[in-house]
């Protein structure tokens, strides 16, 4: 039992997280792609816990779970996601959902608080079928046509089929009720090593970086790997390799202090050992919280492609396939997290941008939003070895609940009541 009845119960938080880890376990992590059986079972698990916590919620027509409270007063929305990347970690997503659930349990029964925490699990934050489909649906940015076109990037299964098989086809999609929430708070593992290497416990997120994503195509000439002399080859794969190396050489001179860029996928066509690839493709992304830096790098990228095409022997074409603008976290939310960290984490917090995308950036388009990070061991993420010390998980939960309380109290318009004994 926690010392204070209206504080997060660390053991309950750990038990909940381990219960979710047991659903779709893979080594020490989980494998819960969107709309997989373990993902759906995790959503069902959550709706049961919401009911126990006095919230009303079910799975909506896009796979979101939103638990609402009948309690009077301001409402704070809190949550994250329950699906995982393929064969990935147990905390990426569930941590924020369980913190939100715990906050609802504690705060909504705290007589010193006027108002309630409501809980969300956004579907497909990990982008198996699209990007931020669940939270974007909630803020009204997903059309039926987008759902018609969405397919699982691994299996190719359509989203319509997945919804049908999950029994969700035809259900309404819940969208935000204007003015209902004072804002949105999300907790997440850092997924980097800044907190751990600084001996810190809490990250106060200032902004979520923008992600610009590109498909870069190389066109050469497909030919026989044995009979075509080196001098006359137009090897699209080699052109791609040279381009990757050129990016790595030239981007550092043009980037900002926190810019990152990644080639995550390479495909040679036809991809056979005895055929010189006639086409090659790379998926490339740039992240920064300063749009001016990204603009500068995109210009450089296009210049480099033009130079490479002019030099030959292969053509290089850059196509931007996704823009995610940077999102600023609400200053009052940052202050509330920092203040909670002062009292419950010895002030071992730091203000920092998020290099990863999160549903909070989508919610930030319609309400004030904030994010709290806890440390990741070794900075490992998107891998089944991803982990966080139990003590950091428990400490993070306490800070999160306290931040929720502070945010609701600031907005209830009533004089502060003393905490119950």
State the minimum distance, in angstroms, from the CB of residue 308 to a second copy. Answer: 13
What are 269's strand-pairing partners?
279
Q: Residue 115 or 203: which CB sits closer to a second copy?
A: 203
State the minimum distance, in angstroms, from the CB of residue 325 to a second copy. Answer: 14
Q: Residue 3 or 224: which CB sits closer to a second copy?
A: 224
Determine which helix (DSSP H) or strand (DSSP E) holds 126, and give its type and residue range: none
State the minimum distance, in angstroms, from the CB of residue 261 to a second copy. Answer: 8
State the minimum distance, in angstroms, from the CB of residue 90 to a second copy. Answer: 15
How far is Cα 296 from Cα 255, in angstroms, rounded to an integer? 8
Q: Residue 265 or 351: which CB sits closer to a second copy?
A: 265
Per-residue DSSP letter, 198? T
Polymer length in residues for the chain: 421
State the minimum distance, in angstroms, from the CB of residue 186 to a second copy. Answer: 15
Q: Residue 60 or 386: which CB sits closer to a second copy?
A: 386
18 Cβ contact list (under 8 Å, min separation 6): none
Q: Residue 38 or 355: which CB sits closer to a second copy?
A: 355
Question: Do residues 304 and 284 lie in contact, with contact meaning Cβ atoms separated by under 8 Å?
Answer: no
Footprint of a second copy on this chain (CB under 8 A)?
A: 85-87, 127, 153, 190-193, 209, 211, 213, 222-230, 232, 235, 237-238, 240-242, 244-245, 248, 252, 258-268, 270-278, 283, 285, 287, 354-357, 379-383
What are 373's strand-pairing partners?
188, 203
Tell me which residue of 305, 269, 309, 270 sits closest to 284, measured CA to CA.
305
Determine which helix (DSSP H) or strand (DSSP E) holds 269, and give its type and residue range: strand 260-269
CB atoms within 10 A of CB 298: 16
State the minimum distance, in angstroms, from the CB of residue 81 to a second copy. Answer: 14
State the minimum distance, in angstroms, from the CB of residue 386 to a second copy. Answer: 9
Q: Residue 194 or 332: which CB sits closer to a second copy?
A: 194
State the minimum distance, in angstroms, from the CB of residue 300 to a second copy. Answer: 15
Q: Residue 45 or 129: which CB sits closer to a second copy?
A: 129
CA dihedral 303→305→311→314, nearest 10 degrees, is: -170
Q: How would you label 369-405 residue by residue, b for 16+ Cβ within 10 Å and e otherwise?
A: bbbbbbbbeebbbbebebbbeeebbbbbbbbbbbbbb
At CA 159, angle to CA 157 and CA 162, rounded to 5?
70
The pair phi, psi for residue 151, each rounded to 5°, is -135, 150
Our measurement of the distance from residue 302's CA atom to the centroid of its chain's CA atoms, rounded to an integer in Å, reads 28
Q: Residue 182 or 369: which CB sits closer to a second copy?
A: 369
Q: Residue 135 or 381: which CB sits closer to a second copy?
A: 381
State the minimum distance, in angstroms, from the CB of residue 84 to a second copy. Answer: 12
């Amino acid at each position: 039992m926690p010392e204070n009845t209206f504080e997060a119960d660390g053991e309950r938080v750990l038990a909940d997280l381990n219960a979710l880890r047991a659903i779709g376990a893979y080594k020490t992590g989980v494998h819960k792609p969107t709309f997989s059986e373990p993902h759906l079972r995790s959503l069902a698990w959550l709706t049961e816990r919401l009911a126990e916590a006095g919230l009303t919620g079910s799975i909506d027509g896009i796979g979101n779970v939103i638990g609402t409270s009948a309690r009077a007063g301001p409402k704070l929305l809190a949550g994250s996601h329950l699906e995982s990347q393929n064969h990935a970690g147990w905390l990426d997503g569930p941590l924020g959902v369980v913190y939100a659930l715990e906050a609802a349990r504690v705060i909504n029964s705290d007589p010193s608080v006027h108002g309630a925490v409501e809980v969300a699990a956004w579907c497909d934050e990990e982008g198996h079928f699209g990007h931020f489909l669940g939270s974007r649906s909630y803020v009204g940015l997903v059309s039926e046509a987008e759902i018609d076109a969405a397919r699982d990037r691994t299996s190719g299964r359509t989203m319509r089929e997945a919804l049908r098989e999950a029994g969700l086809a035809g259900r309404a999609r819940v969208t935000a009720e204007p003015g209902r929430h004072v804002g949105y708070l999300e907790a997440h593992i850092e997924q980097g090593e800044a907190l751990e290497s600084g001996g810190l416990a809490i990250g106060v997120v200032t902004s979520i970086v923008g992600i610009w994503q590109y498909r870069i195509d190389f066109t050469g000439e497909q030919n026989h790997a044995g009979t075509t002399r080196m001098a006359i080859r137009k090897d699209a794969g080699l052109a791609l390799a040279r381009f990757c190396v050129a990016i790595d050489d030239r981007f550092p001179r043009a980037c900002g202090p926190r810019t990152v860029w990644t080639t995550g996928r390479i495909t040679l066509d036809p991809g056979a050992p005895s055929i010189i690839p006639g086409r090659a493709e790379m998926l490339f992304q740039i992240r920064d919280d300063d749009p001016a830096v990204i603009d500068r790098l995109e210009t450089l990228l296009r210049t480099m492609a033009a130079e490479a095409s002019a030099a030959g022997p292969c053509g290089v074409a850059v196509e931007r396939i996704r823009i995610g603008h940077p999102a600023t976290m609400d200053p009052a939310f940052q202050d509330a997290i920092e203040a909670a960290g002062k009292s419950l984490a010895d002030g071992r917090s730091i203000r920092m941008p998020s290099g990863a995308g999160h549903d909070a950036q989508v919610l930030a388009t319609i309400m004030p939003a904030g994010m709290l990070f806890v440390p990741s061991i070794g900075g490992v993420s998107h891998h089944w070895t991803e982990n966080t010390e139990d003590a950091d998980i428990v400490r993070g939960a306490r800070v999160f609940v306290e931040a929720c309380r502070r945010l609701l109290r600031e907005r209830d318009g009533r004089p502060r009541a003393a905490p119950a004994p």
